[in-house]
Amino acid sequence: MALTENRRLNKRDGVRFTHPIAASTKVFRGGILCMNSSGYATKGAEALTLRVLGVALEQVDNTSGSNGDLDVPYEVGVFNFANSSSGDAITAAETGKPCFLVDDQTVAKTDNSGARVVAGIVRGVDDDGVWVELGSHNPTDVVTTAEDLLVATGAGSFKRLAKGTDGQVLKMVSGAIAWAADAT
pLDDT at 15: 86
pLDDT at 76: 92
Length of the chain equals 184
3-state percent breakdown (helix, strand, coil) of the chain, nearest 5: 5, 50, 50
In angstroms, the first-to-last Cα distance of the chain is: 42
What Å distances lie between residue 124 and 67, 98, 111, CA to CA?
Answer: 36, 12, 19
Quick: pLDDT tens for 103-132: 999 999 998 988 899 999 999 999 999 999
Would you say residue 65 lies in a domain?
Answer: yes
Which residue has better confidence, 104 or 87? Answer: 104
Would you say residue 174 lies in a domain?
Answer: yes
Q: Kindly tell me if the per-residue pLDDT of 143 is higher than 60.
A: no
Would you say residue 8 lies in a domain?
Answer: no
127 and 152 share one domain:
no
pLDDT at 12: 66
Q: Range of 161's domain?
A: 140-184
Buried b (16+ CB within 10 A) or exposed e, 83-94: bbeeebebeeeb
CA distance linking residue 50 with residue 45, whole number of Å: 8
130 and 101 share one domain:
yes
Which residue has better confidence, 102 or 179? Answer: 102
What Å distances lie between residue 6 and 82, 150, 161, CA to CA?
Answer: 48, 42, 48
Q: What letter does residue 22 receive in the DSSP assignment?
A: P
Q: What letter does residue 20 receive in the DSSP assignment?
A: E
Would you say residue 3 lies in a domain?
Answer: no
Would you say residue 9 lies in a domain?
Answer: no
Which residue has better confidence, 165 or 68? Answer: 68
Q: For the chain, what is the domain count? A: 3
Would you say residue 4 lies in a domain?
Answer: no
Would you say residue 107 lies in a domain?
Answer: yes
pLDDT level of residue 141 (50, 70, 90 thresholds) = very low
Buried b (16+ CB within 10 A) or exposed e, 4-27: eeeeeeeeeeeeebebebbbebeb
Tell me what the mean pLDDT of segment 89-116 comes to. Answer: 93
Would you say residue 115 lies in a domain?
Answer: yes
Q: Quote the longest CA-to-CA distance of the chain.
A: 61
Quick: pLDDT tens for 44-67: 999 989 999 999 999 999 999 999
pLDDT at 177: 62
pLDDT at 113: 86
Q: Kindly tell me if the per-residue pLDDT of 134 is higher than 60.
A: yes
